[in-house]
Amino acid sequence: TKWVYTFGDGAAEGRASDRNLLGGKGANLAEMCSLGLPVPPGFTVTTEACNWYYANGRSYPAALEGEVEEALNHVGRLTGRRFGDPGKLLLVSVRSGARASMPGMMDTVLNLGLNDETVGALAADSGDERFAYDSYRRFIQMYCNVVLGLDHEVFEEILEDRKASLGHELDTDLTALEWQEVIALYKARIEEELGKPFPQDPQEQLWGAIGAVFSSWMNARAITYRRLHDIPESWGTAVNVQAMVFGNMGETSATGVAFTRNPSTGEKSLYGEFLVNAQGEDVVAGIRTPQNITEAARIAAGSDKPSLQKLMPDAFQNFVDISSRLEKHYRDMQDLEFTIERGKLWMLQTRSGKRTAKAALKIAVDMANEGLVTRAEAVARIDPASLDQLLHPTIDPKAKRDVLGIGLPASPGAATGEIVFSSDEAEEAKAVGRKVILVRVETSPEDIHGMHAAEGILTTRGGMTSHAAVVARGMGKPCVSGAGSLRVDHRTGTLMAMGTALKKGDVITIDGGNGQVLKGAVPMLQPELSGDFAAIMEWADAARRMKVRTNAETPADARMARSFGAEGIGLCRTEHMFFDGQRIVAMREMILADTEKDRRAALAKLLPMQRADFLELFEIMAGLPVTIRLLDPPLHEFLPKTEEEIAEVAAAMNVSADKLRQRTEALHEFNPMLGHRGCRLAVSYPEIAEMQARAIFEAAVEAGRKAGQLVVPEVMVPLVGLVKELDYVKARIDQAAKAVMEETGVHIDYLVGTMIELPRAAIRANVIAETAEFFSFGTNDLTQTTFGISRDDAASFLETYRHKGIIEQDPFVSLDIEGVGELVRLAAEKGRAARPGIKLGICGEHGGDPASIRFCEEVGLDYVSCSPFRVPIAKLAAAQAAV
Ligand code: PEP
Ligand code: MG
């Protein structure tokens, strides 16, 4: 095994594609060398050496020492210097560098090789004694901090004391002699703290630093970072050792960082900062204000400090050329580090730059238009999930935030409005044109109208999959859930937040992107769906195979989804239509009815409302498929719960509270999600299914008449486990269709299909497909029933599971491909075998999750269906999955 790879002077043993072996930094340094760019010569100790180190009780492979020595000699030959030789002093930097950039690991030791003797050589070399001693004390500080584990504070204290007694304000006020005194104090303190002197032997220093890099792979911060970002421990880190170049050798030296394009807007202009007479850490430390690199940026920023362009025009031009060359070479926006030593430019790092979602779009589109990448590559470069940021209003990053409390970022976007504490208040306020935030302890299906009326929703209890969170995401409304430090006090009608009592009508802002609850109105930025966004979506559409539909039942949601490019409705949950005003009354009458006749009478009142709902959906989705699901939830969800509510409803309905209570109790279930719901309702009360089917078909006829365009409704039966359940319900649907056709004389094409939401349905999919004309995978319930965990209650322990590494992701968010996915795959195969060409889709939450969408493409589903705001995400993910 070769443990060490050298680079320098236009040649390198490694290259960009060796990222796994050399780490990102090392591989790119090698690549830059091969491109002939000015890179200080050096070498990379491989990630394999790091793995060997851990596999062998933190020791080094036998050959490593020799290879490092040989590589150091190579660097010496290229620079005309020798490590540890005061006559021809060679100093090095030591940096870590894993495959992926990893904050939390040892970063950098500069000026390594300095000691009491070589510091004199540096002074002679540079002709600047002050610079030499300043470099030495920086080295001591850095080395002690990152290699020997001594707190930075120790040195700061000494330095501040010294400055105070010398009457100096700035570090730069210290003379060479004064730095020497400081160094003496440092060394004394180190000996006191560590029981041994600061290492003088450059070899010992070097191996100390290499060991520190390797050790930092296993420090607590790095381990946490890896866990959060799914980085395997087995990757290891490389170590990069490079000849020092100095950005702090006077006024013709500088150091800086830059991006080849603006990382926050994506604008095609070099963007960066630098400091004159400074070393790397000074730029990040933020002690001095960095200067702009280009004149244009300086003018834009209104800075009176000269730009690099003005100060060092030659080095600047060289840097501009190199940065555009690197961008073309890597075909991506680069994040660069450089140092200028006495007028000469050196490149220290290049890598693909991090960027905002907005910048990512602009850069991808511009690069495709420039011919630097193909359109398919441009599409592949956008993280679908990041589009979420762009679809909602967001808080202006420049705005001041007065934080009242913090909860979970349950649904993205920001919203401002007056506080209301009930859904009725929300609706009333909306009716007179006021904007409100619905503030609840938690929400229930009865709050749907209030959630619709509100600009945003804030709850003080509940997780990411609480009712409020799920429904808000579906509606595309900003939501902060579970803001536990806030307290709703219904008695006094206040929201208590950190000692302040907020009342109904007080204005707050919620930020669903980070969970913050803010006082007052805060300036916002509106989403921009044209331009680059539209271009990427168009290119994605061209690349995609699967269709993308939406889960929607209200006209507002359906319209929004269509404006986002939805290609039909994949799931209309009809129960959501039964909560509004008049409907809930008729619904309750139906539930309280003792006979089928009374039930039918109540249903007759619901029919025209349903028909109008469906007609509107058909019109909005003109020319596109619409899947309507029959009633799914248990009936008791429509009944009042508390005694107070029961009394109120009983009075309004003109029935006795006793009767209402009795019915509520009779309908009570221990396990409603596994209870009397879905097609089981239709089997018990076929008249409900008949009414819904009739409403669908009558609406279809009317839509056809009005628009002269045929609608092909897809009627979907939920929670089927047995084919006979489906057979039974389908017979009622067919009967309704026949009746409507006879009455109207209009022929209707329609499909009857089923959701696949139970393991039994997946296993028996071949038999079910003999009746079902389409399948839609209801992966919310399918996940619930496959795992045997409640989708409403699992959040609490799933978080623990994640923490303990038992699961990686919440299976209700990202499809459990190995388990639930296997059932989907099986059902798709069996369904196709029994009914070739059977239409297959997914309408669980997973239909909007990029990883799950990739799986859907793999098993060949025809479409995914997701909440309106996820439509663009799903389209992009479907395109990426297809190429
Ligand atoms: C499902 O179970 O995946 C589904 C889409 O239905 P619901 O979420 O309404 O139960
Ligand atoms: Mg379901």
284 pLDDT higher than 70 = no
Task: Find out whether the beta carbon of 842 lies less than 6 Å from any atom of ligand 1.
Answer: no
Taking only the tens place, the pLDDT of each residue in 67-81 is: 999 999 999 999 999
User: Can you give the three-state secondary structure of 39-108, one letter per residue?
Assistant: CCCEEEECHHHHHHHHHCCCCCCCCHHHHHHHHHHHHHHHHCCEECCHHHEECEEEEEEECCCCECECCE
At residue 856, the pLDDT reads 98
Query: To test ligand 1's pocket by mutation, which of 578, 757, 852, 864 has the most ligand atoms within 8 angstroms of CB?
Result: 757
Predicted pLDDT at 784: 95
Tokens describing residue 416: 């401002």
- For residue 252, give both structure tokens: 């013709």
CA of 808 to the centre of ligand 1 (A): 23
Pair 217, 102: CB distance under 8 Å: no
Q: Which pLDDT does position 471 carry in this prediction?
A: 82
Give the highest mean pLDDT range of 362-376, 496-510, 521-535.
Answer: 362-376
Residues ≥6 apart with Cβ < 8 Å to 546: 853, 856, 857, 861, 862, 863, 864, 878, 881, 882
Encode pLDDT of 458-480 as tens digits: 999 877 767 888 788 777 789 99
Fold observed for domain 4-243: Dna Ligase; domain 1 (3.30.1490)
User: What is the Cα–Cα distance from 422 to 490, expressed in whole angstroms?
Assistant: 10
Instruction: Report the range of poorest mean pLDDT among 278-287, 676-685, 736-745, 799-808.
Output: 278-287
Centre of ligand 2 from the C-alpha of residue 757, in Å: 6
Phi-psi region of 685 (alpha: psi -120 to 50; beta: other; left: phi over 0): beta
Residue 868 neighbours by CB distance under 10 Å: 26
Of the listed ranges 177-181, 414-418, 809-813, the one predicted with least confidence: 809-813
Q: CA distances (Å), 754 to each of 280, 673, 737, 773, 774, in order?
A: 63, 18, 17, 8, 6
256: nearest Cα among 311, 303, 207, 204: 311
Which of 786, 843, 849 is the pocket-test mutation for ligand 1 (most atoms within 8 Å of CB)? 843
703 close to ligand 1 (CB < 6 Angstrom): no
Give the position, in ligand 1's atom list, of the atom nearest the Cα of 776. Answer: 5
Do β-strands 569-573 and 626-629 pair in parallel, antiparallel, or remain unpaired? Answer: parallel
Taking each continuous run of H as one helix and of E as one strand, the counts in the chain are 35, 34
Which ligand minimizes its atom distance to the CA of 719? Answer: 2
C-alpha separations of 750 from 95, 696, 736, 770 in Å = 66, 10, 12, 16
Give which of 613, 754, 630, 636 is closest to 689, Cα–Cα.
630
Q: pLDDT tens-digit profile of 94-120?
A: 999 999 888 777 778 999 999 999 999
18-32, 367-381, 578-592: least confidently modelled range:
578-592
pLDDT score at 743: 97
CB of 341 within 6 A of ligand 1: the answer is: no
pLDDT for 283 equals: 66
List the structure tokens of 359.
Answer: 């910048």
User: Which ligand 1 atom sits nearest the alpha carbon of residue 718?
Assistant: 6
Say yes or no: CB of residue 844 within 6 Å of ligand 1. Answer: yes
CB of 850 closer than 6 angstroms to any ligand 1 atom: no
576 is catalytic: no
Q: Which two tokens stand for residue 402?
A: 């007065």
Please give the distance, rounded to the nearest whole angstrom, from the Cα atom of residue 719 to the centre of ligand 2.
Answer: 7
DSSP letter, residue 109: E
Q: Considering every ligand atom, which ligand is closest to the CA of 844?
A: 1
Residue 645 predicted with pLDDT over 90: no
What is the full DSSP assignment across 577-612?
GGSSHHHHHHHHHHHH-SSHHHHHHHHHHHHHHHHH
Evaluate whether 777 touches 739 at the Cβ level (below 8 Å).
no
On the question of pLDDT at 281 being above 80, the answer is: no
Q: Where are the alpha helices (DSSP H) in 147-196?
A: 152-166, 176-194
Q: Is the CB of 553 under 6 A from ligand 1?
A: no
The pLDDT, as a whole number, for residue 287 is 63
Residue nearest to atom 9 of ligand 1 (CA): 573
Mutate which of 470, 573, 784, 823 for ligand 1 pocket (most atoms within 8 A of beta carbon): 573
Q: How confident is the model at residue 251 (pLDDT cuts 50, 70, 90)?
A: very high
**Confidence at residue 452, expressed as pLDDT on a 0 to 100 scale:** 87
pLDDT of residue 136: 96
571 lines ligand 1 (CB under 6 A): yes
pLDDT for the residue 465 = 66
Residue 643 has pLDDT above 70, yes or no: yes
172-176, 311-315, 739-743, 858-862 — which is least confidently predicted? Answer: 172-176
The CA distance from 733 to 330, in Å, is 59
Give percent of the chain with pLDDT exceeding 90: 75
CA nearest neighbour of 604 among 733, 686, 695: 695
Q: Which of 74, 392, 467, 576 is catalytic?
A: 467
Q: How far is the CA of 700 from the centre of ligand 2 (A)?
A: 25
Tokens of 210: 């290499």
DSSP conformation class of 172: G
The three-state secondary structure class of 554 is coil
Per DSSP, helices labelled H in 668-819 are 679-684, 686-707, 723-744, 759-763, 765-771, 779-787, 795-803
841 Cα: distance to centroid of ligand 1 (angstroms)? 13
Q: Does the C-beta of 848 come closer than 6 Å to ligand 1?
A: no
CA–CA gap between residue 758 and residue 781 (Å, rounded): 7
214 CA distance to ligand 2 middle (Å):
50
Distance between CA atoms of residues 644 and 149, nearest Å: 64
Residue boundaries of the structural domains of the chain: 4-243, 254-355, 393-525, 544-577+607-628+696-882
Ligand 2 centre to CA of 434 (Å) is: 35
DSSP labels, 475-543: HT--EEE--TTEEEETTTTEEEETTEEEETT-EEEEETTTTEEEES---EE----SHHHHHHHHHHHHH
The answer, yes or no, to whether residue 431 has pLDDT greater than 90, is no
Q: Considering the chain, what is the average pLDDT of its residues?
A: 93
Least confident of 196-200, 576-580, 843-847: 576-580
Q: For every residue of 296-339, which 3-state class applies, written as one string?
A: HHHHHHCCCCCCHHHHCHHHHHHHHHHHHHHHHHHCCCEEEEEE
- Report the top-level CATH class of 544-577+607-628+696-882: alpha beta
Domain spanning 393-525 has what CATH number?
3.50.30.10
Residue nearest to atom 4 of ligand 1 (CA): 778
Range of lowest pLDDT (191-200, 274-283, 398-407, 645-654) = 274-283
Query: String of b and e for 662-695 (b: at least 16 CB within 10 Å)?
Result: ebbeebeeeebbeeebbbbbbbebbbbbbbbbbb
In sequence order, the β-bridge partners of residue 501 are 496
Ligand 1 lined by 784 (C-beta under 6 Å): no
C-beta 465 within 6 A of ligand 1: no
Query: In which band, very low, low, confident or very high, does the pLDDT at 369 lie, cut at 50, 70 and 90?
Result: very high
3-class DSSP state for residue 418? strand
Burial class (CB in 10 A: 0-12, 13-18, 19+), 178: middle
- Determine the distance separating the centroid of ligand 1 and the alpha carbon of 778, expressed in angstroms: 5
Least confident of 223-232, 431-440, 833-842: 223-232
Cβ neighbour number for residue 181 with a 10 Å cutoff: 14
Q: Tokens 């290229």 identify what position?
A: 78
- Residues 409/513, Cβ–Cβ less than 8 Å: yes
Does residue 632 line the site of ligand 1, with CB under 6 A? Answer: yes
Grouping H, G, I as helix, E, B as strand and the rest as coil, residue 374 is coil
Index of the ligand 1 atom closest to the CA of residue 571: 5
pLDDT-derived band at 286 (thresholds 50, 70, 90) equals: low
**With contact defined as beta carbons under 8 Å apart, do 117 and 164 qualify?**
no
pLDDT in tens, 309-358: 999 999 999 999 999 999 999 999 999 999 999 999 999 999 999 888 88
Q: pTM for this structure?
A: 0.82
Ligand 1 centre from 613 Cα, in Å?
20
> Does the Cβ of 778 fall within 6 Å of ligand 1?
yes
How many CB atoms sit inside 10 A of residue 522's CB?
Answer: 20
Of the candidates 33, 144, 479, 843, the residue annotated as catalytic is 843
Strand partners, 573: 629
| The pLDDT of residue 15 | 96
Interval 698-725 mean pLDDT = 93
Q: How much of the chain is helix, strand and coil, in % rounded to 5?
A: 50, 20, 30
Instruction: Name which residue sits closest to atom 6 of ligand 1, judged by CA.
Output: 778
* Residue of 252, 212, 217 whose CA lies nearest to 345: 252
What is the whole-number distance in angstroms between the Cα of residue 783 and the centre of ligand 1?
A: 10
Distance 778 CA to ligand 2 centre (A): 5
Stretch (H or E) spanning 25: helix 19-34
Q: Is the CB of 757 under 6 A from ligand 1?
A: yes
The closest ligand to the CA of 842 turns out to be: 1
Give me 715's structure tokens: 């009627």
Say how far apart CA 131 and CA 134 lie, in whole Å.
5
User: Which residue puts its alpha carbon closest to atom 1 of ligand 1?
Assistant: 778
Q: Is 50 among the catalytic positions?
A: no
Q: Categorize the per-residue pLDDT at 285 as very low, low, confident or very high, splitting at 50, 70 and 90.
A: low
| 843 close to ligand 1 (CB < 6 Angstrom) | yes
Query: Is the domain covering 254-355 a CATH 3.30.470.20 domain?
Result: yes
Q: What is the mean pLDDT of residues 143-151?
A: 91
Q: Which ligand is nearest to the CA of 629?
A: 1
Does residue 510 line the site of ligand 1, with CB under 6 A? Answer: no
